[in-house]
Structure 1
Amino acid sequence: MFLNINILSFMLGFFFANILSTIPAQTGEWNIMSGSIIVSINEIISKKIYKNEIIKKPYIVQLFNNIKIGIIYGLFVDAFKLGS
């Protein structure tokens, strides 16, 4: 059961990456800004989660990590699509 939820959260992050990279890029001027904002938010969330040495709910943290990994993976896939 946990594997299904982990895969689902990873795919949810991948879906968010597709949404976040295509909507602001319609004008063609926001590609670099949207990418930097997404990565900055990702790093801020990581800093807030891992700042506490005692993590009370490790399963929720794992789900957030899967979503973040899916977002980064989705951005890489979009970059490869644009580069080819």
Structure 2
Amino acid sequence: MQNTRLNNLLDTIARSLGQWFVNPWRRFSLLLISWLFGFFMGSAVSTTAGQKAELDIVVAAFLVLLTEITSRIFYSRNFFARQAIWVESLNLLKIGFIYSLFLEAFKLGS
């Protein structure tokens, strides 16, 4: 890429955010927010997709595809290598999403 002012600004912002999330409490809070947002998204998707009940199979296939892509991104890296913060947040978003879908399924089953 060319060395433009916008490119320099985005690089500086990304570098400063990366250094800001080196703090363990900030990193933990971001990961917790990711997990909670995934939990919210799972609850929202299950209630909105079930309203009309026409595209349930298509929505389920799309969600499984997104979950598998996320798992491929997270688990394709070396286990002992330090994970990037966006990869860890994406994985915890996926975990919260799946957990919420399991809870919704248990609610419907009881």
Q: Flag whether TM exceeds 0.5 (same fold).
A: yes
- Partner of residue 96, structure 2: 70
Matched AA of 1:38: L
Stretch deviating more after TM superposition (61-70 or 19-28): 19-28
Stretch deviating more after TM superposition (71-80 or 57-66): 57-66
Segments of 5+ residues of structure 1 without an aligned counterpart are none
Does structure 2 conserve the Cα–Cα contact (< 8 Å) formed by 1:21 and 1:34?
Answer: no
Identity among equivalent pairs (%): 35
- Partner of residue 33, structure 2: 8
Matched AA of 2:94: K
CA distance in 2, matches of 1:29, 1:17: 18
SS at match of 2:53: coil
Q: TM-score, normalised by structure 2?
A: 0.62
Does structure 2 conserve the Cα–Cα contact (< 8 Å) formed by 1:25 and 1:31?
Answer: yes
Higher Rg: 2
How do residues 1-84 of structure 1 correspond to structure 2 at under 5 angstroms?
A: 1=25, 2-48=27-73, 50-51=75-76, 58-84=84-110
Gap change, CA 1:41 and 1:73, over 3 Å in 2: same
